[in-house]
Structures are given as C-alpha cells and as structure tokens.
C-alpha cells in the first residue's frame, strides 16, 4: 500500500458559502493526514457571496489552507487547472466545495493507488438530479457515474496530473475530458462503488434549467473533441434523428411521428428518475411530479446539445 507523505487538496468553489466550511472540515478530519504534509488549496471561481471570506477566516486558523481568488467566473476547467499550478506532492486530490467526504475516504482510496493512477468515489445525489432530490424528497441511489471517476472527489498521482492536466477552456465536462485523455495515454482509473460521499447543494429551478442546458452544450463539445459515444449521446442522437424526420414529414404535411417526438423527452425524463431514485409507495405522487419536472430538464438538455453544435 502506497504511503502518502505529501498531498495537496484542491477545492473548487462557486457561491458555496453554505457548504464550504463543511467540505473543509471533512477534509481536515481525514485520518491519514495526521502523518502527512498536506495543504488545501481553495479556488474561489468568481463567487458573488461570502465564500472567499469564509476561506480567509479558516486560513487564519490553519496555515495549510490557501486561497486562489479568481475575480471572474472562469469555469471548472480553468479553476481546476489554476489549482494544479499551486499544488505539489505525491498526490493531488479534488474535492468539490459542495461535497463532504467520510473520514476514511483517504484510507479507502489509498488501498488502490498501487494499481491505479486515479481513484474516486460516488457522489450522492448526482449533480444532474440535486434539485429533484431536494424538492421532492426522494431517496437517491448510489449509481456509478457514466464516465467513471468525476472531479467531485478523486485522487490522482501528482506527477501524472501535472503532466496531463485539465483543459482550462472546458467549463463543463472537464473531468470527462481528462478521463478520456488519461485512458488514451495508458493510465488507469478506478471508481470505488462502496465509497459514498455526500453531495449537498442549494439550487433553484431556474439555476437547474441553466445548468442542465450547459451540461448539454458541454456534452456536445466533448463529443466533437473525442468522438466517443456514451449512453446520453445515444439518447440525444436518437432524439435528433426523430426531430429531423419530423421536420421532413411536417414539410410533407405528415404528422404521424409528431406524438413520439413530443413524448420522447418524457420517456427519458421518467426513465432517468427511475434510474436515479428508489421508488416508495408513500412517495408515488412526488415521484410522478419529479418525472414531469425532470422531463423539462431533459428538454433543456437536448436544446443545449443542439446549440453545442453551433460552437466552434
């Protein structure tokens, strides 16, 4: 088992005044840090709340905490890359500011660092259903992420991450991009399905729509870069094909497939909820309402994907 002597934690934060202190506390509570030389680098990505002030207060009491204060929101790719520039050590860890990790997180990932170059856990609930989870009080499933490890909680071998790095121009999907480039370079990663971290986020319906839209544009940009198919890509391209066919049929005044085009986002929306949450009899109405709301999100995701093709 690899011994961790020197390690850097990077916490990317954007308007996380309600969560940043808990995130930092969960990092400082790691058992392994008692015998390690460590530092925590918080990258404040242009927050408009008191995130930076809270970090400064915490750093006054702990010299291991450092702040990179970006005055403008640059996106996660840029923020993660900025953190890497200041990081050093045998290992570099990313923990998002809305994540709290169990005190044995470092112990668990360390067991796999001889065989793998990057190791992470599962965030619950996943980022695309946080609003649904909070609004309708559904119980999320600890589902593996579609692209394996994510930037929300992951440890990398420092030398490798310094060499490969995040793409600072990618605002969304920067971790997926890195995963594919790591794999292409022959490095191995491991998602620990028994390592669950808590994702706590305060997000409105309006902000969720905006986020899902940009998830869509980001997913299309990633597809254009890497030409790799994931399940979300297959679902979107089926929708796109259905849309194109309907446009052709409408020109010919044929509406035979229009109902399928209208229903498809609802099929995907409800299927997504079934995949992400447990169904309980006493929550059946909430589950149905969540399905309808999620179907609206799916429509914005599809729109974002279409708009993504217009970007260079």
What is the pLDDT, as a whole number, of residue 171? Answer: 87
Inside any domain, residue 107: yes
Residues 176 and 299 grouped into a single domain = no
* Domain with 248 in it: 207-308
* Domain shared by 182 and 61, yes or no: yes
Grade residue 168 by pLDDT with cuts at 50, 70 and 90: very high
CATH number at residue 109: 3.90.550.10
pLDDT (average), residues 295-306: 97
- The pLDDT-based confidence of 188 (bands split at 50, 70, 90) is very high
Structure tokens at 311: 């970007």
Q: Would you state the pLDDT for residue 310?
A: 84
Same domain, 175 and 280: no
Residues 99 and 188 in one domain: yes
Please say which residue of 203, 220, 246 terminates a domain: 203
- In-domain check, residue 1: no
Q: Tell me, what's the pLDDT at 312?
A: 63
Q: Are residues 132 and 112 in the same domain?
A: yes
Judge if 47 and 173 occupy the same domain: yes
In this structure, the answer to whether residues 103 and 214 fall within a common structural domain is: no
The answer to whether 260 and 242 are in contact (CB under 8 A) is yes
Integer Cα distance of 43 and 301 in angstroms? 28
| Same domain, residue pair 117 and 227 | no
- Give just the sign of the alpha carbon dihedral 173, 175, 181, 184: negative
Q: How high does pLDDT run on average in the chain? A: 93
Query: Which one, of 30, 101, 12, 25, lies nearest residue 58 by Cα?
Result: 25
Averaged over 161-179, what is the pLDDT?
A: 91
The per-residue pLDDT for 2 is 58
Spatial contact of 65 and 34, defined as CB atoms under 8 Å apart: no
Asked if 123 and 226 sit in the same domain, the reply is no
In a domain, 299, yes or no: yes
Q: In terms of domains, do 35 and 182 share one?
A: yes
Tens of pLDDT, residues 94-149: 999 999 999 999 999 999 999 999 999 999 999 899 999 999 999 999 988 777 89
Please check whether residue 102 lies inside any domain of the structure: yes
Q: Which residue has the tokens 């399928």?
A: 260
Is 145 a domain residue?
Answer: yes
The answer to whether residues 280 and 160 belong to one domain is: no
With b meaning 16 or more CB within 10 Å and e meaning fewer, what string describes 215-226?
A: bbbbbbbbbeeb
Looking at the structure, do residues 160 and 281 belong to the same domain, yes or no? no
Q: How many domains are there within the chain?
A: 2
Give the pLDDT confidence of 217-270 residue by residue, as tens digits: 999 999 999 999 999 999 999 999 999 999 999 999 999 999 999 999 999 999
Would you state the pLDDT for residue 31? 85
pTM: 0.90
In this predicted structure, the answer to whether residue 293 has a pLDDT above a threshold of 80 is yes
With respect to residue 161, please indicate whether it lies within any of the assigned structural domains: yes
pLDDT at 138: 95
Residue where one domain finishes, among candidates 155, 183, 203: 203
In order, the DSSP letters of 14-66 are SS-TTTHHHHHHHHHT-GGGGGSEEEEEEEEES-SSSHHHHHHHHHHH-TTEE
Last residue of a domain, one of 203, 225, 249: 203
Q: Which residue has the higher pLDDT, 35 or 217?
A: 217
């Amino acid at each position: 088992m690899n011994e961790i002597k020197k390690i850097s934690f990077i916490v990317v934060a954007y308007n996380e005044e309600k969560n940043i202190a808990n995130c930092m506390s969960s990092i400082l509570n790691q058992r392994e840090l008692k015998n390690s030389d460590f530092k925590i680098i918080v990258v404040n990505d242009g927050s408009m709340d008191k995130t930076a002030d809270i970090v400064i207060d915490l750093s006054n009491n702990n010299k291991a905490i450092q702040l990179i204060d970006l005055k403008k929101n640059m996106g996660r790719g840029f923020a993660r890359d900025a953190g890497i520039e200041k990081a050093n050590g045998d290992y570099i860890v990313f923990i998002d500011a809305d994540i709290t990790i169990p005190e044995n997180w470092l112990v668990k990932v360390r067991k796999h660092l001889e065989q793998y170059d990057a190791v992470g856990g599962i965030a619950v609930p996943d980022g695309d259903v946080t609003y649904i989870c909070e609004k309708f009080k559904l119980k999320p499933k600890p589902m593996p992420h579609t692209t394996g490890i994510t930037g929300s909680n992951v440890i990398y071998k420092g030398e490798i991450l310094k060499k490969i790095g995040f793409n600072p121009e990618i605002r969304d999907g920067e971790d997926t991009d890195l995963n594919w480039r790591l794999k292409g370079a022959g490095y191995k990663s491991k998602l620990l399905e028994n390592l669950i971290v808590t994702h706590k986020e305060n997000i409105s319906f309006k902000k969720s729509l905006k986020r899902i839209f940009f998830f869509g544009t980001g997913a299309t940009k990633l597809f254009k870069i890497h030409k790799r198919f994931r399940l979300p890509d297959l679902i979107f391209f089926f929708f796109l094909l259905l849309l194109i066919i309907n446009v052709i049929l409408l020109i010919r005044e044929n509406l035979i497939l229009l109902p399928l085009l209208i229903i498809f986002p609802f099929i995907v929306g409800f299927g997504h909820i079934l995949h992400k949450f447990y169904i309980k009899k006493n929550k059946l109405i909430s589950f149905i309402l969540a399905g309808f709301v999620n179907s609206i999100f799916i429509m914005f995701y599809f729109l974002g994907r279409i708009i993504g093709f217009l970007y260079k």
